A and B are shown apart, each in its own frame.
Chain A
Amino acid sequence: MAAIVGYGAYVPKYRIKAEEIARMWGKEPSSITSGLNVFEKSVPSIDEDTATISVEAARRAVKSSKIDAKEIGAIYVGSESHPYAVKPTATIVAEAIEATPDMTAADYEFACKAGTAGMQNCIALVETGMIKYGMAIGADVAQAAPGDALEYAAAAGGAAFIIGKEGIARINATVSFTTDTPDFWRREGQPYPGHGERFTGEPAYFRHVMGAAKMLMEKMGTSPSDYDYAVFHQPNGKFPLRVAKKLGFEKKQVEDGLLCPIIGNTYSGSTMLGLAAVLDVAKPGQRILAVSYGSGAGSDAFDITVEDAIEGYPRQGIRKMLEEKVYVDYATYMKFRREFK
């Protein structure tokens, strides 16, 4: 199948601590951090949005891959916080990396899995020979109603993956598990999403992530011990660890890709940033299972083998980038999110 040619990641440098949000709403900080396993989350600057985050990730991917952006034949941006309701983020990205005009582009929305849906489309277009390279981006400046439980995790960040015939990691297979499950939604014109509280666990996240992971392992004839790394969507820091355990993975297989405790849930960026963090440290021959989750609901699972070419790839060092951070208080966080109308 197709391969990952390169990747780029970007997370805004501002952070707010879970205890600062808890202080604002009169909650006990330790119950939040231990309950969610989220200690702090990334905050977009006042002039950042899904488009600027996507552009930053896309530019890093093109630079690291050393390809001519003009050879990118498709760009898909998956997000639930596109800056426009109508007017594609993907066109802004395409122009900013100078990939226009001989190409196709579109924005995707599937809660937190829109970016991996874009990856699957790029794989298909590369496989059929319609394009040489495709770029899939998952990025968000996630919304959460002030005071809502989601506020402790809803974060900002994104990753861009360039898909082609040959690259740094082979995508051996991908499958999806999709149903109509109303666990989380945002109605047209509404600023914040709503959700089904505890309903977001078993029938939503766990059913779909496990369904997709099991389908893929059955298809490939593999078991958890065949993988060096596993990345699961990270709505909080607990779910990916719990789903790993349920599936039979060990904690050490999940740790490298687990970023939620220190940056929060970057929604469409979540699984892709986790995969990028794994590719930052993976060695040739190692195998990765990556499973996204999008409310609504569905999961995309990928079986990936790292190729020799990764040795010459200028890796990002996402964890190093995350060390460059500036903490803000709750009021500044609200200002940066342009919440004061």
Chain B
Amino acid sequence: MMGVARYWREIPVRYNLIGKKCGVCGKVYFPPRNICPTCRRKSIGKMEDYKLSGKGIVETYTIIHTPPPEFDGKAPYAVAIIKMEEGCHLTAQIVDCPLDEIHVGMKVEACLRRIQEDGKRGAIYYGYKFKKAED
């Protein structure tokens, strides 16, 4: 269970891939960081919101057969580490692609999907997943 407060706080990140860009060295971070680990104190106050393009490639992936309870009934599904165009990495599900067609180096793009829900009465949490790039 995620809780509505945390979900609400992370909406820009989860819906629109808003990360941070260091105003000193230009490196992009996702999820957002308050301080650049390279520039450290020099980056304080210079970390700017940065929207990722949503495009990337599959760097590695795994197929989940025994999911945590929140994802019950949805297995098997693929979870990949994706290298984004901006150089940062993130972990996300790959959807709308037969599991045997997913491969390292596959071009993917972000879409918004249901991630999980707090039971039948609770909130529904939406967020990014990735599918095969259209172009």
Contact = CB atoms under 8 A, between A and B. Distances in A.
Contacts of B73: 46, 335, 340
B115 A47 contact: yes
Nearest to B74: A46
A143 to B, nearest CB: 16
A52 B15 contact: no
A95 interface: yes
B16 interface: yes
A96 B15 contact: yes
Nearest to A84: B124
B112 interface: yes
Contacts of A98: 16
Contacts of A340: 73
Given A47-B95, A95-B15, A335-B73, A83 B124 contact: yes
A161 B102 CA distance: 34
Contact of B96 (A13, A83, A92, A335): A13
Interface string A33-71: 000000000000111110110011000000000000000
A96 B114 CA distance: 13
Interface string A329-341: 0000001000010
Contacts of A52: 111-114, 126
Given A45-B95, A95-B11, A335-B73, A55 B16 contact: no
Interface string B106-121: 0000011111000000
B20 interface: no
Contact of B112 (A45, A46, A96, A326): A96
A49 B111 contact: no
Chain A interface extent, by class: 10 to 19
Contact of B114 (A13, A48, A335): A48
A327 to B, nearest CB: 12
A152 to B, nearest CB: 24
A49 B114 contact: yes
Interface in B71-122: 73-74, 95-96, 98, 111-115
Given A84-B124, A92-B126, A56 B111 contact: yes
Given A52-B126, A84-B124, A96-B112, A45 B96 contact: yes
Given A45-B95, A52-B126, A83-B124, 7 more contacts: A45-B96, A46-B73, A47-B113, A51-B114, A52-B112, A56-B111, A335-B73
Interface of B: 11, 15-16, 73-74, 95-96, 98, 111-115, 124, 126, 129
25 contacts: A45-B95, A45-B96, A45-B113, A46-B73, A46-B74, A47-B113, A48-B113, A49-B114, A49-B124, A51-B114, A51-B124, A51-B126, A52-B111, A52-B112, A52-B114, A52-B126, A55-B126, A56-B112, A92-B126, A95-B11, A95-B16, A96-B112, A96-B126, A335-B73, A340-B73
